[in-house]
Structure 1
């Protein structure tokens, strides 16, 4: 059986469908044919038994017993068409009155002759080998139908009257069934070929995409069946891949553009230092110090940009490398505020943090909060104030800087986007994009808006998580 299954798996799908349809039809036809044959055989046998009862009744009623009693030897055997009729005694002696060949008496027939059984109905072979259906009953004599002792009469009909029609019926059923199976196989092939035509188109399209990497190809969607759903899913997947490739190409182009500036500046400064060293000329210490500071600043900017790119390129639902965990958001914000104080020591941080727990990746969440605070520090005026509030899962970070124009707010979370007024400030343009990605992975939302009285408000909303149990010391 396993070999047959393995062999079927090697066949094309349409061939398997056709074979399964043919097998199902063949099983159904065989079941119907066998049932029909058995029902017909049972009906013919019942009809034969009824005819035997009718004939033996007519024989006793028409004073046939006196004629049967005249049968004393095989010389009196009469060759008449019709059923075989014979007398038999309780000892098993048989006298055939009509028929071609005697039928041996069975124990059931002897029991009828002895009077212990009312009748015997069975199938047996005559002396010439003919299969006969035999009915044996006691002999009744006279109008009063008095049963004669130790004598019974048997009437038999050849089973050929049943077997020949049944054989003909079997051949007819086999022929019709074979035609039905062949027709169902052809129909199965046609149905499989027609039904799998959209699958063939899908296969050709997939092969074309794999060969040419052309993600603009789409499959026409007709109807709402499984094939249509498969085509729609393929189109959606292709569109997603095309969008992903476009975003990847855009990321590479933007990253190349952003990397070009610090690299060019570093190259210029390094070439200047090399030329000074080669010519042996000296430069004032202040100029040399400024030149080295510029190189260091460009290296720091380049390292920050590469770190942001690595953070942005991480895969997974969490936006980070670790799994989601229940995190204390107020502790994370407090830690981020302390780091922000180091970046803006002249600024005043006004904080109000209520306890709140969220489900997120700890390192990614802290980096997102730090990016929001860094953005506030960067745009805050000297000796300004940064207000940080956390109430019921809503974190707000407000600065008192110049603010963001309304026409620029839709682009603040795009990668590498920087406001024209902020291009002179350090940064890669990826910080807010990383924030949006992390918050979205944690099931939250983030937005920037203009604050009343000037400045910008960053609002971060994260759904709460069950409070973790206290640690047992």
Structure 2
């Protein structure tokens, strides 16, 4: 039993959206039309019955008809030729017998009529039937009996009241109601058909933008062409969906271009150390294969070159892994860390890489919310750049004041035309191409600082050199520990 509704729901869901929308519109209109038709029929039926009751209550039996009804009881006719007048009139005796007007149809006497004849109630209004089975509406009331000969009713002639029933057939109402039902059914059918046609037209018209969007999505899925754009018209939900689709394809196109560029740049950067490494290894293999030993000094230099190239490759692969992570995903959760302590640790590492340089540090306490390992790597990268471009015996100045970390070197500086490109991946200025590095360090620094809610800027320093400034939001005192 329960599987049938589920099958109906599944079959409905498998219909095209246009068909479902047209079917829902048709169903809604059909239900509304049916409800209005039934309500109209019921109201009309109630109104007609109320009018019939009012007409029966407000009308009284004609004097002559009552006299003729009583005469039929005193002098029964030899042949019964009942008529079919506008109303049926009969006089009801307390015993339940009825004296019927010769031109009326005899109506079955009900207990309500007998109660009126006995004086229990003054009047009554109810349904009954004729002897031929015609349903009638009956109104029985007491009238003054003194003008009539009431011997046929076996009542006291001095009694001032007798019960007279006036009834009318309900067929006239039933006929009108049946005609109304047929008319409403026809109108409902026409309305449903019109609603179906209108629903189909509305579905086709309203879903045209969806069809365009569907076609565009299918085209992108089939051809991977991310340059497709959907015309946006209006400010409705379809327009919003079209804008979202256009934004999505634009973002995907940009992401794919960046990915292709990253792969191309990574391949270019990997080619040089791999070529050099391959050449050095081939020299070592050829030396062992031919038995011609490489002089010890040359062999030591060759091995040192291989080690340096392996180190460069490892660093490049690490940088590529760092950049391959989504921007919103880090290695670990954000924590409150002491930026001055991280800067001090990074300075210790920088001193090992530039033992001939002089480092000055003025670090004020500053606490920020960031990923500790990523933030330390970012500061180390900035210091590595300062070490790399500082002249022998030069000075690297580091200062941390109110959340602003400044690293200044006294090297050649960065040309003004190169400043807009310093944070791009794999970009290196012409003067830095001969130096070790992949061109990814500052790109990683910029992303790490941005994830921590800060900003970084590079620019020329007064008197020469480069000045890197990292600004991070935070406080000079650590926040209270949560229990």
Shift of 1:431: 0.3
Using a 3 Å threshold, how does the CA distance of structure 1 residues 471 and 353 change in structure 2: closer, same or farther? Answer: farther
Give matches, 1:316-331, under 5 Å: 316-318=327-329, 320-331=330-341
Q: Distance in 2 between matches of 1:402 and 1:11?
A: 71
Paired residue for 1:72? 73
Give matches, 1:436-455, under 5 Å: 436-455=446-465
- Provide, for residues 237-289 of structure 1, a one-character-per-residue CA deviation record: whole Å limited to 9, x for no partner: 11111111111111111111111111111111112222222222233322221
Match among 333, 350, 366 for residue 356 of structure 1:
366
Using a 3 Å threshold, how does the CA distance of structure 1 residues 300 and 163 change in structure 2: closer, same or farther? Answer: same
Q: Distance in 2 between matches of 1:212 and 1:324?
A: 41
Of 35-44 and 147-156, more deviation after overlay is shown by 147-156
Give matches, 1:115-126, under 5 Å: 115-126=119-130
Number of positions where the alignment pairs a residue of Structure 1 with one of Structure 2: 466
**Alignment check: 8 A CA contact 1:136 1:154 kept:** yes
Using a 3 Å threshold, how does the CA distance of structure 1 residues 74 and 82 change in structure 2: closer, same or farther? Answer: farther
Q: Distance in 2 between matches of 1:171 and 1:267?
A: 96
Paired residue for 1:287? 298
Task: Please provide the CA RMSD for this pair.
Answer: 2.4
Q: Distance in 2 between matches of 1:164 and 1:467?
A: 93
Match among 90, 95, 99 for residue 95 of structure 1:
99
**Alignment check: 8 A CA contact 1:314 1:321 kept:** no
Paired residue for 2:244? 233
Paired residue for 1:267? 278
Give matches, 1:4-403, under 5 Å: 4-56=8-60, 59=62, 62=63, 65-72=66-73, 75=76, 78-98=82-102, 101-141=105-145, 148=159, 151-318=162-329, 320-403=330-413
Paired residue for 2:472? 462
**Alignment check: 8 A CA contact 1:372 1:432 kept:** yes
Shift of 1:382: 2.4
Using a 3 Å threshold, how does the CA distance of structure 1 residues 53 and 365 change in structure 2: closer, same or farther? Answer: same
Q: Distance in 1 between matches of 2:380 and 2:159?
A: 121
Q: Distance in 2 between matches of 1:339 and 1:450?
A: 25
Q: Distance in 2 between matches of 1:134 and 1:326?
A: 95
Shift of 1:66: 4.3
Paired residue for 2:152? none
- Provide, for residues 118-146 of structure 1, a one-character-per-residue CA deviation record: whole Å limited to 9, x for no partner: 21111222232211111111122469xx9
Shift of 1:42: 1.4
Shift of 1:150: 6.9
Q: Distance in 2 between matches of 1:147 and 1:113?
A: 15
3-state DSSP of counterpart to 1:337 = helix
Using a 3 Å threshold, how does the CA distance of structure 1 residues 251 and 72 change in structure 2: closer, same or farther? Answer: same
Q: Distance in 1 between matches of 2:420 and 2:223?
A: 36
**Alignment check: 8 A CA contact 2:26 2:195 kept:** yes
TM-score of the two chains, using structure 1 as the length reference: 0.92
Using a 3 Å threshold, how does the CA distance of structure 1 residues 286 and 169 change in structure 2: closer, same or farther? Answer: same
Q: Distance in 1 between matches of 2:140 and 2:474?
A: 94
Using a 3 Å threshold, how does the CA distance of structure 1 residues 139 and 71 change in structure 2: closer, same or farther? Answer: farther
Shift of 1:388: 2.3
Q: Distance in 2 between matches of 1:194 and 1:285?
A: 85
Paired residue for 2:151? none
**Alignment check: 8 A CA contact 2:144 2:162 kept:** no
Shift of 1:334: 2.6
Moved over 6 A (4+): none
**Alignment check: 8 A CA contact 1:401 1:455 kept:** yes
Shift of 1:364: 1.8
For structure 2, list consecutive stretches of 5 or more residues without a partner in the other structure. 148-156
Of 124-133 and 419-428, more deviation after overlay is shown by 124-133
TM-score of the two chains, using structure 2 as the length reference: 0.90
